[in-house]
A and B are shown apart, each in its own frame.
Chain A
């Protein structure tokens, strides 16, 4: 069954034909007058026509998501039920996103009148679409020793626009009770820890309090493979942002993921066992349980390729401050995927759009059994059953006694795998020999503890064996609805 490996950039023989870089002439296809300045997927544009074209793609993918109930492609009135949050990394995509949102929905607009949607039917063009726009940055330098803190660079960029409120966070806030309370979380009665050396991920009560930063370090250094670090930082960042969206009463939350990045993250998701969440990777509604206002995550650059972003930023003279790649990112599944896709795109220029189009046609096979406590995405149950059947790791049945509370049943496949799948590089030492006993106890991000405790209560009450309940949600440790 095996086939020999080909070098993606050398072999020319393939089913997908290579094409010229542009069609027929070098004249702009829009105005049919100017000499073109750039080719985007074989279409030639001049500089003047490039900007409206890009802006149109942006609006076409954002605006149909703004109203809670979509009213067709030709919507008239934009009345989002809450504020707007923009995730800003300082990277290329989010730099372009910030500029597009500012130009399109903030600059030279009056504050929005505070009338509810029913009354406010007109959507006056000179009024802000969202009442408030927050821009949130999560600094990850705490995870890497030699990395520079870029918060101030980022602040400078955000504050160069009027009308944005800057919310700086740090990735270690995931373990910081002060942050957790600031977004409405209940002060926890003793955090939870987890024994990461065992596939069952046995839960333990926390012994002693540590600083958020050292909790982050313990968490990251306990991960079983270098590939787990970028994935984990991404999940932590995403959840910090989501809780911030809720705390800022935002109904919409935008990521600067362009088509190229989206196709990379979709393939990377599949490569990590997250095929069940393909839909969510493109657009998701989070936290709508218990009659609460859901936060809708939208990626309005999803029809714009990386090249378009780079040209836009260059021609608009935008400063891209977040250029540093995480030190371990290239070893991660995402980094490997990115190198591969970007390389493949060179020879097969339709690869990225094919990937996103294919994924748009896929749907989860089952209804979700619940929500993963770590990444908060819909999850299938029985992850461990599947894994033990496929790869036998023990000659006797699972050692976890039912009395021992464990995290594994509350995780999706991808999160469970991130916490347990070993790299071939690290010695796969037996469970006990690595580190001391305390070294095996890993603190958990605060939202996990809150959800697990609530679910344990529910389970004790209902004796329900199911993976998770998604009805009658009590709020997950929030003191009061926001």
Chain B
């Protein structure tokens, strides 16, 4: 007798589910995959009807599948969300320019409004030019910091309440391990949170927090979703690479290891003593974004780049060197001033052309922000 799907017991199984090891059929796979994401959304009470939600879209597998699932669930369960695609163009030739084509295709398939913002228009630098300046050692730090801020600013321009990103369970577990091994207490506290929201940032959440990377790939495969699968051409953070290879070994030994680590991360928090050590949150004096020093990380990095001390913004010590080397010269290119909900756009298309920066900029932007 042929083996039957472990869930419906009627269909022939076609895959072994990485997360549970069960052999299940295609329909059941789609059902459990989508329902688990739905459960995550409900349990964390992520959305309110009428919310405007931007999907951080890179053209890669995670965000492509996320866009598909968000649209599916929004229709199926009547979330009442207004969805947007928001893409960041880091300016990496041969990588991002191609993946953005994928995003444009997604836009047509799902009929969702798309907004593309580039590092070049925000910061006056592309990743290509940053790598040229700082080499490949710390380029991921620049990219990570710049992307985070660019997404927030893009979201503010679209007037959305919420950004969802494609971070999956593997990413979260890897981050938990990395933060423990590197002693990053500040990040450890929030890395397992499904949703994070500072007082002055836009809500961000990870509906794929419990979704295995392998299953995202399977879902895309069986749904025949097109995504861009080339790795970034610049070398990733080596330490993250170590954490990832360790996680893969654990997963190979015991597939539940990924969610087991997330469970661990959720079970503990930074104790009272250690919380006191954490730096108080400030507002960047130059661009209005959240910061832990007078300048936010992006402004510090940018100033380092502009002054030809590219790597100075990476560490606290480097930042002090930068400060010690004299005052900020005049005429330096800076990031436009950031204000949450600077304008309340009436519809997505209008917001795309409305520049989001407020009038309170003390240093007037050299970089022009215009529609992508």
Q: Which A residues fall within an 8 A CB radius of B? A: 1-8, 11-16, 225-227, 266-267, 269-276, 278, 331-333, 336-337, 340, 344, 348, 351, 354-355, 357-359, 361-366, 380, 386, 389-395, 413-414, 417, 421-424, 428, 430
Complex Cα distance A340/B178, Å?
13
Interface size on B, residues (CB 8 A): 77
Q: Which residue of A lies closest to B140 (CB)?
A: A3
B245 within 8 A of A: yes
Known: A333-B257, A389-B43, A393-B7. 7 other contacts (CB 8 A): A1-B166, A1-B167, A15-B314, A271-B257, A275-B266, A362-B268, A363-B270
B1: shortest Cβ distance to chain A, in Å? Answer: 11
Q: Are B272 and A391 in contact (CB under 8 A)?
A: no
- Other-chain residue from A269, A351, A424 in contact with B264 (beta carbon distance below 8 A): A269
Measured CB to CB, the nearest residue on chain A to B42 is A389
19 example contacts (A-B, Cβ-Cβ < 8 A) are as follows A1-B168, A1-B170, A5-B248, A6-B236, A6-B242, A11-B238, A272-B264, A337-B250, A340-B246, A348-B239, A354-B181, A361-B185, A364-B269, A389-B40, A391-B19, A395-B8, A413-B260, A414-B260, A428-B20
Contact, CB under 8 Å: B250 / A271 = yes
Which residues on the B side are within 8 Å of A6 (C-beta)?
236, 238, 241-242, 245
Residues of A within 8 Å of B35, CB to CB, are 392
Known contacts A271-B261, A358-B188; A395/B28 CB under 8 A? yes
* Residue B177 at the chain A interface, CB threshold 8 Å: yes
Q: Select one of A13, A226, A278, A336 contacting B137, CB under 8 A.
A: A13
A343 to chain B, nearest CB (A): 9
B264 touches A270 (CB 8 A): yes
- Neighbour of A365 across the interface among B136, B246, B256, B267, CB < 8 A: B267
Do A395 and B253 contact each other (CB < 8 Å), given the known contacts A1-B62, A275-B267, A417-B260?
Answer: no
Q: Do A386 and B272 touch across chains, with their CB atoms under 8 A apart?
A: no
Q: Do B270 and A267 touch across chains, with their CB atoms under 8 A apart?
A: no
Q: Are B36 and A8 in contact (CB under 8 A)?
A: no
Chain A residue numbers with a CB within 8 Å of B272 are: 363
Which residue among B167, B185, B248 has the maximum number of chain A CB atoms within 10 Å of its CB?
Answer: B185
Chain B residues contacting A1 (CB-CB under 8 Å) are 60, 62, 166-168, 170-171, 213
B263 interface contact, C-beta 8 A: yes
Main secondary structure of the interface of B (DSSP, over half): helix
Shortest Cβ-Cβ A-B pairs, 4 listed? A275-B264, A6-B241, A361-B274, A273-B260
B238 touches A362 (CB 8 A): no
Question: B136 — nearest CB in chain A belongs to which residue?
Answer: A13
- The answer to whether B7 touches A331 (Cβ under 8 A) is no
B371 CB–A CB distance under 8 Å: no
Out of B180, B181, B255, which one reaches A424, CB within 8 Å? Answer: B255
Q: Does B197 contact A (CB under 8 A)?
A: no
Q: Which residue of A lies closest to B216 (CB)?
A: A1
A-B contacts, CB under 8 A, total = 209
Which residues from chain B contact A413 at a C-beta distance below 8 Å? Answer: 260, 263, 267
B183 interface residue (CB < 8 Å to A): yes
The answer to whether B252 touches A394, judged by C-beta atoms less than 8 angstroms apart, is no
Residues of A close to B137: CB separation below 8 A:
13
Judge whether B138 and A15 touch: CB under 8 Å. yes
Given A6-B242, A6-B245, A16-B239, is A333 in contact with B253 using a C-beta cutoff of 8 Å? yes
Judge whether B256 and A417 touch: CB under 8 Å.
yes
Q: Are B21 and A271 in contact (CB under 8 A)?
A: no
* Nearest chain A residue, comparing its CB with the CB of B235: A13
Instruction: Please provide the chain B residues from 269 to 293 with a CB less than 8 Å away from any CB of chain A in the complex.
Output: 269-274
Say yes or no: A275 contacts B265, CB within 8 Å.
yes
A97 to chain B, nearest CB (A): 26
A361 touches B255 (CB 8 A): no
Q: Take A336-B249, A362-B269 as given contacts and tell me if A5 and B244 are in contact as well, using a CB distance cutoff of 8 Å.
A: yes
State the Cβ distance, A189 to closest chain B Cβ, in Å.
36
B32 to A392, Cβ gap below 8 A? yes
Tell me if B87 counts as interface (CB < 8 A to partner A): no
Most buried by A among B6, B19, B176: B6
Taking CB atoms, residues of chain A closer than 8 Å to B274 are 361-362
The answer to whether B263 touches A391, judged by C-beta atoms less than 8 angstroms apart, is no
Enumerate B10-29 residues with CB–CB distance to A below 8 Å: 16, 19-23, 28
Q: Measured between alpha carbons, how far is A275 from B241 in the docked complex, in Å?
A: 23
Is B128 part of the contact surface with A, judged by Cβ < 8 Å? Answer: no
Known: A13-B137, A359-B180. A3 touches B268 (CB 8 A): no
B210, A390: Cβ atoms under 8 Å? yes
* Chain B contacts for A428, CB-based, 8 A: 16, 20-23
Residues of the A chain whose Cβ atoms lie less than 8 Å from the Cβ of B210 = 390-391
How far, in angstroms, from A6 to B270 measured CA to CA in the complex? 29
B209 CB to closest chain A CB (Å) equals 9
B320 contacts the other chain (CB 8 A): no
| In the bound complex, CA of A341 to CA of B32 (Å) | 36
**Shortest Cβ distance from A17 into B: residue:** B315
* Closest chain B CB from A52 CB (angstroms): 29
Q: A278-B268, A354-B183 in contact; A267/B19 too (CB < 8 A)?
A: no
Tell me whether A13 and B254 are in contact (CB under 8 A): no
| A267 and B181 contacting across the interface, CB-CB below 8 Å | yes
**Are the C-beta atoms of B240 and A3 separated by less than 8 Å?**
yes
In this assembly, does B237 line the interface, its C-beta being within 8 Å of a C-beta of chain A? yes
Q: Is the CB of A430 within 8 A of B6?
A: yes
What residues on A are CB-neighbors of B238 within 8 Å? 6, 11-15
**Interface check B231, CB cutoff 8 A:** yes
Confirm or deny: B111 has a beta carbon within 8 angstroms of a beta carbon on chain A.
no
Contact indicator B271/A361 (Cβ below 8 Å): yes
